[in-house]
Amino acid sequence: MSSNSSTDNLCAPDDKLCITREHDQAVIIVPTLLLLSFLVTILAMCLVKYCTGQRRTRVTAPQRYHSSSHRNTQRHGRRHHLQGIDAPPGINPLEHEELPMSVQQVQQNVRPTLAAVPQMPTERHNGGFSQVTALPLSFSIKPDDTISLYRARMNNRDVILRVLKETANNNERQHFFGFASFVSGLGPHPFLPALLGVVSVQTPPMVVVEELQHRDLLGFLWRCRQDNSGLESSCDMTEKRIFSMAGQVASALEYLHNQSCIHGNVGARSVLVGGDLTAKLWGLGSAYRRRTQAHSPGEVEAVEMKKWQAPEVLGRTAVSQSSDVWSFGMLLYEMVTLGDPPFAQVMATELLQYLQRGKHLKRPPTCSNSLYAIIRSCSSWSPQQRPSMSELIRKLHAGEKSANGRTVLRVPEPLDIERYLRKAGYGEAYNYAVL
């Protein structure tokens, strides 16, 4: 009351400006301070929320990338705590994997190059690599300046390590992880080699793939040819076994086609054989390059592939799923001849003209009429006349039921690598890649 009375005494009743000046602290300053404190509080809360979101994004992004692969991995092993940081989408990274031991010498002419591998005990005893040895170079593996191959043990199973060399540049590194992401994106299939993980955080980067005991089918067929004594039952190829293994490869090929993926490199060199003689389709480098590089649709990537390519591919026209069906017929020919190349009597540079004259593969002496009929249907000149993969699988399953499973296929001619290179259309400096 005293304050109001004093204000009234100082200011006339109709002097509103005077009254406002007398009460400016209560009317203007206090609300302004309250508004400023409110704005500062809101700004601080926004900053805290933004920083927390950024930190959560950096931590959980790889988990989002690898969620599908992570679920698959939990079915095969306890790896829920393994998440990568810089792995591409779709890859199950093994963040804490290391190579704790030195590489053992396998052959005198194979020099291991894992200089960048940490020589320290692994932090994960459950999933660490052991018994690491350089993979011996063979006819079925092409030397690569950017990748080294090693055999190892992981979680009590044999694996192959595709290790990126230190000298690889950024483009080669991107291609290395891009291929792994491509294979991982295809998903699991019983007749595709399993991609077990990718080491992307630690040095050296590597891709871990299951190892199949007999390695590539072409080498397996050659061993069957040399085993004339028949003492090694695992190398006994019968017509029934051909139908069975071919059906497995056809199943994998149909799976790829259903994902709009053309293999482009079907042949005995791109099929891996397990200890139980399960056949798994590999050699996916051509399919990856076709998706990532702007090649012409019908480009033949290498001279040594011509004997297995369809006429439309040799003519550099459209590549289709039927092109893989043609190559699958060449694979059947390789299997029934125990590793002979198709069109051995024709030079690779003259093959297209040979086919244009209506010529075709001759029936091998060891080939039954039913199997040869499938080979001929796959190698029809017109892509529209070739069977689909589903139709081909039905024919193979039907042929397996009536095929001879007792008579072991034998080829009298011994293996001659130089002769094979010449008849298959390979130059002396050429090789082909499986891994």
Q: Give a yes or no: residue 42 inside a domain.
A: no
Q: Give a yes or no: residue 1 inside a domain.
A: no
pLDDT-based confidence at 101, cuts 50/70/90? Answer: very low
Q: Which of 164, 182, 210 is the last residue of a domain?
A: 210
Q: How far apart are the first and last CA of the chain?
A: 96
How far, in Å, CA of 167 to CA of 293, rounded? 23
In the chain, the number of structural domains is 2
pLDDT-based confidence at 39, cuts 50/70/90? Answer: confident
Other CB atoms within a 10 A radius of the CB of residue 193 amount to 20
Sign of CA dihedral 150, 151, 152, 154: positive
| Same domain (yes/no): 81, 118 | yes
Asked whether the predicted pLDDT for residue 122 surpasses 60, the reply is no
| Same domain (yes/no): 107, 236 | no
Q: Give a yes or no: residue 346 inside a domain.
A: yes
| Same domain (yes/no): 204, 302 | no
pLDDT-based confidence at 16, cuts 50/70/90? Answer: low
| Same domain (yes/no): 380, 297 | yes
Q: Give a yes or no: residue 59 inside a domain.
A: no
| Same domain (yes/no): 257, 108 | no
| Same domain (yes/no): 335, 400 | yes
Q: Give a yes or no: residue 191 inside a domain.
A: yes
| Same domain (yes/no): 153, 255 | no
| Same domain (yes/no): 131, 225 | no
3-state secondary structure of 195: strand
Q: What is residue 412's predicted lDDT score, i.e. its pLDDT?
A: 81
| Same domain (yes/no): 202, 313 | no
Other CB atoms within a 10 A radius of the CB of residue 49 amount to 10
How far, in Å, CA of 148 to CA of 420, rounded? 26
Q: Whose CA is closest to 140, among 221, 251, 43?
A: 221
Q: What is residue 102's predicted lDDT score, i.e. its pLDDT?
A: 43
How far, in Å, CA of 14 to CA of 2, rounded? 20
> Model confidence over 265-297: pLDDT tens digits?
999 999 999 999 999 999 998 899 888 875 544
> Model confidence over 44-81: pLDDT tens digits?
888 877 766 554 444 333 333 333 344 444 444 433 33
Q: What is residue 380's predicted lDDT score, i.e. its pLDDT?
A: 96
**Helix (H) or strand (E) segment spanning residue 353:** helix 351-356
Q: Are strands 206-210 and 195-199 parallel, antiparallel or unpaired?
A: antiparallel
Q: What is residue 429's predicted lDDT score, i.e. its pLDDT?
A: 38
Q: Give a yes or no: residue 58 inside a domain.
A: no
Q: Which of 190, 210, 230 is the last residue of a domain?
A: 210
Asked whether the predicted pLDDT for residue 347 surpasses 70, the reply is yes
More confident: 87 or 394:
394
Q: Which of 210, 244, 264 is the last residue of a domain?
A: 210
Asked whether the predicted pLDDT for residue 404 surpasses 80, the reply is yes
Please report, for residues 128, 166, 275, the alpha-carbon distance to residue 121 in angstroms, rounded to integers and kept in the order given.
9, 22, 31
| Same domain (yes/no): 187, 311 | no
| Same domain (yes/no): 229, 204 | no
Instruction: List the single range of 121-125, 256-260, 330-334 with lowest mean pLDDT.
Output: 121-125
Asked whether the predicted pLDDT for residue 301 surpasses 80, the reply is no
Q: What is residue 268's predicted lDDT score, i.e. its pLDDT?
A: 95
Place of tokens 């079925």: 140
Q: Where in the sequence is the domain holding 390, given as residue range(s)?
A: 215-424
Q: Whose CA is closest to 332, among 277, 288, 374, 271?
A: 374
> Model confidence over 246-271: pLDDT tens digits?
999 999 999 999 999 999 999 999 99
How far, in Å, CA of 215 to CA of 270, rounded? 10
Q: Give a yes or no: residue 19 inside a domain.
A: no
Q: Give a yes or no: residue 162 inside a domain.
A: yes
